[in-house]
Amino acid sequence: MTDACVYLVGTGPGDPELLTVKALRLLQNSDVVVYDRLVTDEILQLIPAGVSRIFVGKQSGKHTVPQDEINSLLVKLAESKRTIVRLKGGDPFIFGRGSEEAVYLARHHVAFEVVPGITAASACSSYAGIPLTHRGLAHGVQIITGHCQGDLPLDFDWRSLADADKTIVVYMGVANISFIVDRLIQAGLAETTPAAAIENGTSRKQRRLLTTLARLPQETRQAGLSAPVLFVIGKVVQLADELEWFTPGEIEALQPAVAFEKERHG
């Protein structure tokens, strides 16, 4: 029997057609799938009948399965299963805790592979009509988390972060967006800096809010936006109306053109 392998697979942020070919092949040839809360139903429907599914989703302050138990679960599954797919929204190594799981697997001598996914910063901004970089508007991107482990206070170099010539992308920032905005303004970023909030990016339920940095917290609350929300701050946001192309609700279920044959050995 082939040695077990755990595949840490990124699914992208929602649209099933953003899956990589490799991610789809592994899904359709898996023995067991361990998946997170942000993996969409459309992607879960691509898992063949009979494949074991284990939900280990978590959100801020409400962990269905603690991270250390997820780590142990992956090692345990590897003792008896040949192909384990650890399915994560976005990219496993960008605020997905995939590197923590990979370290644990490596230290327990379990083979693993990482399958990158399109991260929310790239996909959600694109589906909202916002380029992360644009000549004359932004020559770099800064990606930060808006929520720290154990609810510890956010501790960034705010002066460095408040760079008007770069785009700031904030993951998991709904609870702390007022704090983040206040610190950026105090550090010198103009209150009138264009800003956006994107809820459920790339999915049928996507909502996009365009505003300014100073008004971002208030308008996010007034719109009733809730996680998952990605915040984009910077001059590139001013292009959103001109570059708008995506109509939420038009995503179709993925119908793969290539059927991957499932092979069983032993």
| pLDDT tens track for 140-166 | 999 999 987 666 788 899 999 999 999
Do 222 and 164 lie in a common domain?
A: yes
3-state helix, strand, coil in the chain (%, to 5): 30, 20, 50
**202 inside domain:** yes
* pLDDT computed for residue 258 by the predictor: 44
| Tens digits of residue pLDDT in 32-73 | 999 999 899 999 999 999 999 999 986 555 556 899 999 999
Task: Give the residue-averaged pLDDT of 105-113.
Answer: 96
| Alpha helices, H only, the chain | 21-28, 41-44, 67-78, 98-107, 120-127, 158-161, 177-186, 216-222
pTM: 0.89
* pLDDT computed for residue 82 by the predictor: 83
Count how many domains the chain has. Answer: 2
Do 198 and 226 lie in a common domain?
A: yes
> Domain with 166 in it: what CATH number?
3.30.950.10
Q: What is the 8-class DSSP label of residue 90?
A: B
**218 inside domain:** yes
> What are the DSSP calls for 18-51, one per residue?
GS-HHHHHHHHT-SEEEE-TTS-HHHHTTSPTT-
Do 76 and 171 lie in a common domain?
A: no
Do 10 and 108 lie in a common domain?
A: yes
> Residue 164 is part of which domain span?
121-239
**61 inside domain:** yes
Last-in-domain residue among 77, 99, 118:
118
Do 101 and 12 lie in a common domain?
A: yes
Does the pLDDT value for residue 134 go beyond 60? yes
Do 185 and 209 lie in a common domain?
A: yes
Does the pLDDT value for residue 193 go beyond 90? yes
Percent of the chain with pLDDT over 90: 81
* pLDDT computed for residue 157 by the predictor: 96
* pLDDT computed for residue 256 by the predictor: 46
For the chain, the average pLDDT equals 91
Does the pLDDT value for residue 264 go beyond 50? no
| Tens digits of residue pLDDT in 195-220 | 999 999 999 999 999 999 999 999 99
Would you place residue 109 in the very low, low, confident or very high pLDDT band (cuts 50, 70, 90)?
very high
Would you place residue 250 in the very low, low, confident or very high pLDDT band (cuts 50, 70, 90)?
low
Do 61 and 130 lie in a common domain?
A: no
Last-in-domain residue among 118, 148, 163:
118
Strand partners, 35: 55, 87
Last-in-domain residue among 57, 90, 118:
118
**255 inside domain:** no
* pLDDT computed for residue 161 by the predictor: 97
**48 inside domain:** yes
Do 97 and 64 lie in a common domain?
A: yes
Would you place residue 254 in the very low, low, confident or very high pLDDT band (cuts 50, 70, 90)?
low
* pLDDT computed for residue 80 by the predictor: 84
Do 44 and 134 lie in a common domain?
A: no
Output 261 or 27, whichever has higher pLDDT. 27
**248 inside domain:** no
Do 46 and 151 lie in a common domain?
A: no
> Domain with 72 in it: what CATH number?
3.40.1010.10
Percent of the chain with pLDDT over 70: 89
Do 127 and 234 lie in a common domain?
A: yes
Active site amino acids: 36, 58
**163 inside domain:** yes
How far CA 239 is from CA of 130, 134, 194, 246, in Å, comes to 6, 9, 10, 14
Do 14 and 84 lie in a common domain?
A: yes
